[in-house]
Amino acid sequence: MDRRFLVKLETTRDNLRFSLESWPEAGLTAQFALAPSTLSPYLEEAMARDDNLVEGGAPQLVSAMKGSLRLQLFGRRLRVAGVFAVRVELACHRCLAVFVHKLSDQFEELVDLIGPGEETEEAELAVVTVDNQFDLTPLLVEQMWLAWPIKVLCRPDCLGLCLNCGANLNEGLCSCGRPLTLKH
């Protein structure tokens, strides 16, 4: 897609609500910065629907989620291409140390725009429009979950905890005298 033909929103958005009124035929691009407080209700709602998303509750965001979106409308279908980055606080699966991790990804989705109570059969994703407006924040939260690491490590060579005494082996040898064995 040639970016010259996209209408650019000049300001960074603090929300991802868009209006279909006067939608530019060529589409538009938008920069966004969503504060953790803006994302919290969406994260809590996602956690309520599926408690297997993250062990220990909703993730602690330590920065705004920043990125950009390219949007093109084709009738009642919306092509969304974007990138995002956010810093989250995680606990290492091996040593349990809490650390900050940069979560980032790029994505492209085709979503149906439907009215309240409508269902869609063609697209896997749908966004509900209310009064000719729609919110893409839930889509961004879903993309964040899809980018979530399966195995969270504070560093690639993390030694983890001693299986006998529980000492963090990254901080030195433990005092229990058990031989060091790593299981990855």
DSSP reduced 3-state for 132: coil
Residues 10, 96 share a domain: yes
Residues 122, 31 share a domain: yes
- For residues 130 and 118, the answer to whether their CB atoms sit within 8 Å is no
Residues 87, 51 share a domain: yes
Residues 100, 40 share a domain: yes
Residues 142, 162 share a domain: no
Share the mean pLDDT of the chain: 82
Residues 174, 103 share a domain: no
Containing structural domain, residue 175 = 158-184
Q: How far apart are CA 59 and CA 61, in angstroms?
A: 6
Residues 167, 137 share a domain: no
Specify the higher pLDDT residue, 137 or 179.
Answer: 137
Nearest residue to 149 (alpha-carbon basis) of 83, 84, 105, 98: 105
Residues 83, 163 share a domain: no
Residues 89, 69 share a domain: yes
- For residues 94 and 72, the answer to whether their CB atoms sit within 8 Å is no
Per-residue confidence at 43, pLDDT binned at 50, 70, 90?
confident
Structure confidence by residue, pLDDT tens digits, 107-125: 999 999 888 878 766 656 7
User: Number of H helices and number of E strands within the chain?
Assistant: 2, 9
Enter the tokens of residue 93: 């699966």
Give the Cα-Cα-Cα angle 142, 147, 63 (nearest 5 degrees): 85
Residues 81, 52 share a domain: yes
Enter the tokens of residue 13: 């958005």
Q: How far apart are CA 16 and CA 69, in angstroms?
A: 10
Mean pLDDT of 41-65: 74
Residues 163, 148 share a domain: no
**pTM of the predicted model, to two decimals?**
0.77
Structure confidence by residue, pLDDT tens digits, 69-93: 999 999 889 999 999 999 999 999 9
Alpha helices in 32-169 (DSSP H): 36-49, 137-146
Number of domains in the chain: 2
DSSP reduced 3-state for 102: strand
Residues 63, 8 share a domain: yes
